[in-house]
Structure 1
Amino acid sequence: MQDPRGAVPRTARLLEAAVALLCRLGGLLGAITGLVCFALVCVSVGWRYFLGQPQPWIDHVAAWLVVGLVMFAAGETQRREEHIGVEVLTARLPRAGRRAARILGAASVALTAAILLVEGIATVSFSRMIGIATNVEGVPLWWVHTLIPLGAALLLAAALAQVVVLACGLEPRGPERKAHHGVPGGRAE
């Protein structure tokens, strides 16, 4: 018979690994989106200042790409625990207090991401229903709005995986961390 206490942490680690894969893919899409945005802005500058032919559509597309970059990268940023934290306060807490603060922080991010997901879906549905178009011919606004629930879903998955892992008494697996609080390779525990 298997130890039930061993099954829960293994399941938490499998969930964490699956979410990490999705978040890394989102981070890759965010990086590609950023590079495309940079290339378009360079092309726009060339057309505007060297050829005297501004291309207004590029400004619109670049703005959408910035939204895409942020939304795609949000989950990976959460998974890596690179969002802003208040370590001045949490570093003074005992070990159990730090863990509780991390769980509360991840749960807060999950709640915010859930709200963003629900509202993002409503925004996509509304803009699709009334047929709003962008300033770029042939591009409906709901295509751009779809970036919001996609990014929110990645963020929600990353935060929930962290809550589960932390609640199981485990430490989330993110990338190698530099020395922090005088402890090589991670946070002071």
Structure 2
Amino acid sequence: MMHSKKRIIKRVVIACLILVVSGVWLVGYIDVNKRFPKPEQQVHSIGEWVRTGDTSIKVNSVEYMPQEEANSQYGSELLPDNGNNSNTYYFIAKIDVKNETDKEIKLSKTLLEHLGLEIYPVGVLIYGEVMENGELTSIKLKAQEQREIVLHFIMSQGVLRDDRRWMLKKSQIRIVLSNYPVHEIIVLDDIKGL
């Protein structure tokens, strides 16, 4: 009886050692940076035309303003004003978009679903909405048409609390066009109202 217990314990110990040694070998064998390399980064600035898919875009200006001011200037009432939104701010980006194809395209499908405002290193990523005359809209561009659109990015309490908003001044704020295989960004250096 005692002899068989020692034999079982010996087998369990040997099996555990084999698992540990093979686990250490596997971790050493898999080089994460070789299998999943860091993407190449392309950095652009405000006022520079950037080709992305079927469109070219140019960021003209970006403003940071409270909800009341954004509502009066741009009609951007994305959140209903129920008195709790006094701490809600907007990033308003004016962007020129040009259709580079010979067919009509819908911006919500080709560009806007990939376009996000990233605040780094805070860790905020917001997707914007296009509004015209105070209403959400879907913009179509004819072949070779160029047009200015206004994107509204909401910065509410749920996105970034008031006591952490001071970090915006020390952060890099950028529009992300793609993440992989090329990390393509437009750095927003001159933001009015920030």
TM-score normalised per structure 2? 0.25
Question: Which of the pair has the greater relative contact order for Cα pairs under 8 Å at 6+ separation?
Answer: 1
Bigger Rg, structure 1 or 2:
2
TM-score normalised per structure 1? 0.25
